[in-house]
Amino acid sequence: MSTVIVSQDDLLRYHSLLASLEKRISAMSSELGHPLTYLVKTYGCQLNESDSEKIEGILQSIGLIEAEESAIPDFLFLNTCTIRENADIRLFGNLGAYKINKRQNRDMFIAVCGCMMKQEENVARIKKSFPYVDACFGPSDIHLIPEIIEQKLNQRKRVFSVSEEDYLVEDNFIPVKRKRKFRALVPIMYGCNNFCTYCVVPYTRGRERSRDSKEILKQLKSLAEEGYKEVMLLGQNVNSYGHDRPDEISFAELLERTAQIPGFSRIRFMTSHPKDISEEVIRTMQKYPNIERHLHLPMQSGSSRVLKRMNRHYDQEQYLKTALLFRECLPDATLTTDIIVGFPGETEEDFQETLNVIAKCKFDSAFTFQYSRRPGTKAAEYPDQIPQDVVTERFGRLLELQNDLTFQSNQSMVGKTEEILIEGRSATAPDVLTGRTNSSRLVNFKIPKGIQLDGKEINSDDPNFDADELEGRLCMVKILKAKPYSVEGELERFCE
Ligand code: SAH
Ligand code: SF4
Ligand code: F3S
Domains of the chain: total: 3
- Residue where one domain finishes, among candidates 371, 396, 411: 411
Which residue's CA lies nearest to atom 4 of ligand 2?
Answer: 236
> What is the CB < 6 Å shell around ligand 1?
83-84, 198-199, 236-237, 271, 273, 298, 300, 338, 340, 369, 371-372, 374
The domain in which residue 318 lies consists of 182-411
- Which atom of ligand 3 sits closest to the CA of residue 139? 2
Name which residue sits closest to atom 1 of ligand 2, judged by CA. 199
> Would 176 be classed as within a structural domain?
no
173: in domain: no
Distance 199 CA to ligand 1 centre (A): 6
Rounded to an integer, what distance in angstroms lies between the CA atom of residue 441 and that of residue 355? 23
- Quick check: helix, strand or coil at residue 364? coil
The CA 83 to ligand 1 mean position distance, Å, reads 7
Rounded to whole angstroms, how far apart are CA atoms 462 and 450? 12
Residues with CB under 6 A from ligand 2: 192, 194-196, 199, 201-202, 236-237, 273
**Percentage of the chain modeled with pLDDT above 70:** 100
pTM: 0.96
442 assigned to some structural domain? yes
b/e 442-473 (16+ beta carbons within 10 angstroms → b): bbbbbbeeebebeeeebebeeeebebeebbbb
For residue 70, pLDDT over 90 is answered with no
Instruction: Give the CATH number of the domain where residue 137 resides.
Output: 3.40.50.12160
pLDDT in tens, 311-367: 999 999 999 999 999 999 999 999 999 999 999 999 999 999 999 999 999 999 999
Determine the 3-state secondary structure of 37 from DSSP. strand
Distance 332 CA to ligand 2 centre (A): 28
Q: What is the mean pLDDT of residues 171-181?
A: 88
15 pLDDT band (50/70/90 cuts)? confident
Verify that 144 and 207 share a domain, yes or no.
no
Q: Which residues pair with 446 in a beta bridge?
A: 490
The more confident residue out of 225 and 105 is: 225
> Is the separation of the CB atoms in 157 and 18 below 8 Å?
no
Let me know: does 227 contact 193? Beta carbons within 8 Å: no
Distance, in Å, from the CA atom of 440 to the CA atom of 456, rounded to the nearest integer, reads 29
CA–centroid distance, residue 295 to ligand 3 (Å): 20
Domain boundary among 118, 145, 168: 168
Cα distances from 25 to residues 18, 55, 73, 108, in angstroms, run 10, 16, 14, 13
**Cβ neighbour number for residue 430 with a 10 Å cutoff:** 12
Distance between CA 201 and CA 116 in Å, rounded? 10
Q: Residue 307: CB within 6 Å of ligand 3?
A: no
363-407 pLDDT, tens per residue?
999 999 999 999 999 999 999 999 999 999 999 999 999 999 999
Residue 302's pLDDT is 98
192 DSSP 8-state letter: -
Average pLDDT over residues 209-236: 96
Q: Which residue's CA is minimally distant from atom 5 of ligand 3?
A: 45
347 prior amide bond cis, ω within 30: no
**340 and 206 fall within a common domain:** yes
What is the tens place of the pLDDT at every residue in 252-267?
999 999 999 999 999 9
- CATH number of the domain within which 234 lies: 3.80.30.20
Which atom of ligand 3 is nearest the CA belonging to 115? 2
**Residue 339 shares a structural domain with residue 431:** no
The predicted-structure confidence for 142-157, as pLDDT tens digits, reads as follows: 999 999 999 999 988 8
Domain boundary among the residues 168, 202, 231 is at 168
Question: Is 205's C-beta closer than 6 angstroms to any atom of ligand 3?
Answer: yes
Of 458, 451, 447, residue with least CA distance to 489: 447
- Asked if pLDDT for residue 33 goes beyond 80, the answer is yes
Q: How far apart are CA 189 and CA 208, in angstroms?
A: 7
Instruction: Give the pLDDT confidence score for residue 463 in this predicted structure.
Output: 80
Tell me, yes or no, whether 379 and 448 share the same domain: no
Residue 175 is assigned to a structural domain of this protein: no
Q: Are residues 245 and 374 in the same domain?
A: yes
Ligand 1: which of 190, 340, 371, 382 to mutate, most ligand atoms within 8 Å of CB? Answer: 340
pLDDT-based confidence at 1, cuts 50/70/90? low
Mean pLDDT for the chain overall? 94
- Is the Cβ–Cβ distance between 109 and 76 less than 8 Å? yes
Nearest to 179 by CA among 357, 52, 15: 52
Ligand 3 neighbour 80 (Cβ under 6 A): no
Same domain for 402 and 427? no
Looking at the fold, whether 291 and 218 belong to one and the same domain comes out as yes
Is 273 found in the same domain as 242? yes
Tell me if 216 is assigned to some domain: yes
Q: In this predicted model, what pLDDT tens digit does every residue of 453-488 receive, in sequence order?
A: 888 888 888 888 888 889 999 999 999 999 998 999
Residue 233 belongs to some domain of the structure? yes
Are 368 and 221 in the same domain?
yes
Q: Which atom of ligand 3 is nearest to the CA of 200?
A: 4
329 touches 300 (CB < 8 A): no
> Is residue 404 in some structural domain?
yes
Same domain, 255 and 351: yes
Of all protein residues, the one whose alpha carbon is nearest to atom 7 of ligand 1 is 273
What CATH number has the domain bearing residue 473? 2.40.50
Query: Does residue 109 lie within any of the structural domains?
Result: yes
Q: Which atom of ligand 2 is nearest to the CA of 195?
A: 8
Clarify whether residues 305 and 204 are in a common domain.
yes
Among 236, 175, 137, residue whose Cα is nearest residue 14: 175
For residue 139, the cross-strand partners are none
Among 223, 307, 295, 233, which residue's Cα sits nearest to residue 261?
223
DSSP track, 130-151: -TT--EEE-TT-GGGHHHHHHH
DSSP-assigned states of every residue in 71-138: S--SEEEEEE--SSHHHHHHHHHHHHHHHHHHHH-TT-EEEEEEGGGGSHHHHHHHHHH-TT--EEE-
Closest C-alpha to ligand 3, atom 1: 81
Peptide bond into 271 cis (omega under 30): yes
- 378 with 240, same domain: the answer is yes
- Which atom of ligand 1 is closest in space to residue 199's alpha carbon? 19
CA–CA dist 358, 302 (Å, integer)? 8
